Structure 1
């Protein structure tokens, strides 16, 4: 069973956490621009929220409620833990199995720290969801669902059956988009909030995935050198 070693943990810091600091700085910088010099952008964004709110129907209120729940913290954590345990059971590879955990943990940390700096108010339309004690920028629901399901889509490349690999990838890529629309429709975020949330999730998924690929190459190289020494 492959377990994370000191080199893997050092690589995690260098290849995921350190770049994550850069991602956080970029997100905060964009947020400060939106809430400062580019504050006029909020008027155009409010028009989008108002248009969606004006077209609400009971059916779409229910549908988007389900889509919004996909990005809830408790659901994201539950799905992440369950899938990670299944991956560990099937692959016996600790490093591979914790890639989703790394992705959502990194995303959550960046999101929370960014909201502490950028305190943006939510859209002025009626809100259909309870507002969590964080600011509107960036969207945590969108960021978390994107980090989780994009990571699943990347990991799905190892599925041997083509139809299952394609189906899994399509579903995993579609879910964050459903969450994105739901958060806009339900008046919880501005367009830039969900856009930056998407970018945050994508960045964290790619950083976690890149760390695993580096770790896999490192371990493969170590194994090859060990085999060469024996022979």
Structure 2
């Protein structure tokens, strides 16, 4: 139960920090600083980098995120990895839900229109939904991988998330705190999802599902993660 409490408390603390960051960046002083940073990044623009940024932003769109949130757990379920399927659904779906709720609650304005390379998906800027999708996918995959390969997968996920985060700032549709908030949304969801799955009633039900599906008990090594 100590592991459960640590994850729960960690998730709730980061959630409070996420909301606090969202309201902090709405202050005029921080907004001026964020606009200045976006203007500096805009000075780096060239054709090849812009094409890369557009590709990264399309790959991490909300449509892609929602599709993966359903398809990956469905595939895992069919492979009789019921524990992993539920956890992946909670991590990715939870991340999208956290980002959406905070986005609506904070309702931060986008950077000035003159900085946009592409139009934003909606009017609210914090947190970045695209960064949330990338970070949530990275965390979900890391939790699925076991053994020495996990470190390499984690580094790859971190790199992909960083590329998407940079792309959103580069394209002028987000501030730096927005992409930080997107990553935090995914971490919050991952911690809370893992905490929920360690509750005895939930764990017992998942154990029964895994055993009934012919799973190899791989979930047992996942509880502490």
Per the TM alignment, residue 23 of structure 1 is displaced from its structure 2 partner at its CA by 5.2
Question: Is structure 2 residue 184 aligned with structure 1 residue 195?
Answer: no
Q: Which residue of 1 aligns with 2:97?
A: 109
Aligned CA distance change for structure 1 residues 215 and 149 (closer, same or farther; 3 Å): farther
Q: Which residue of 2 aligns with 1:79?
A: 68
Question: Is structure 2 residue 20 aligned with structure 1 residue 29?
Answer: yes
The TM-score with structure 2 as length reference comes to: 0.75
Q: 2:52 aligns with which of 54, 59, 63?
A: 63
Aligned CA distance change for structure 1 residues 169 and 34 (closer, same or farther; 3 Å): closer
Partner SS, residue 121 of structure 2: coil
Q: Write the deviation string for residues 65-111 of structure 1: whole angstroms up to 9, x where unpaired.
A: 11112320111122333322332233x13232122221222222222
Q: Which residue of 2 aligns with 1:142?
A: 131
Q: Which residue of 2 aligns with 1:133?
A: 122
1: distance between equivalents of 2:142 and 2:26? 34
Q: Write the deviation string for residues 30-80 of structure 1: whole angstroms up to 9, x where unpaired.
A: 3223213xx301222212211111110010110111111232011112233
Q: Is the 8 A contact 2:107 2:125 kept in 1?
A: yes
Question: Is structure 2 residue 49 aligned with structure 1 residue 49?
Answer: no
Q: Which residue of 2 aligns with 1:183?
A: 168
What RMSD, in angstroms, separates the aligned Cα atoms of the two structures? Answer: 3.1
1: distance between equivalents of 2:142 and 2:158? 7
2: distance between equivalents of 1:26 and 1:79? 27
Query: Structure 1: where are the runs of 5+ without partners?
Result: 1-14, 224-231
Partner SS, residue 124 of structure 2: coil
Structure 1 residue ranges (4+ consecutive) displaced by more than 3 angstroms after TM superposition = 18-26, 165-170, 209-220
Partner SS, residue 40 of structure 1: helix
Q: Is the 8 A contact 2:24 2:30 kept in 1?
A: no
The TM-score with structure 1 as length reference comes to: 0.73
Query: Structure 2: where are the runs of 5+ without partners?
Result: 1-6, 209-225
Per the TM alignment, residue 116 of structure 1 is displaced from its structure 2 partner at its CA by 2.1
Aligned CA distance change for structure 1 residues 28 and 168 (closer, same or farther; 3 Å): closer
1: distance between equivalents of 2:152 and 2:21? 35
Q: 2:83 aligns with which of 76, 82, 95?
A: 95
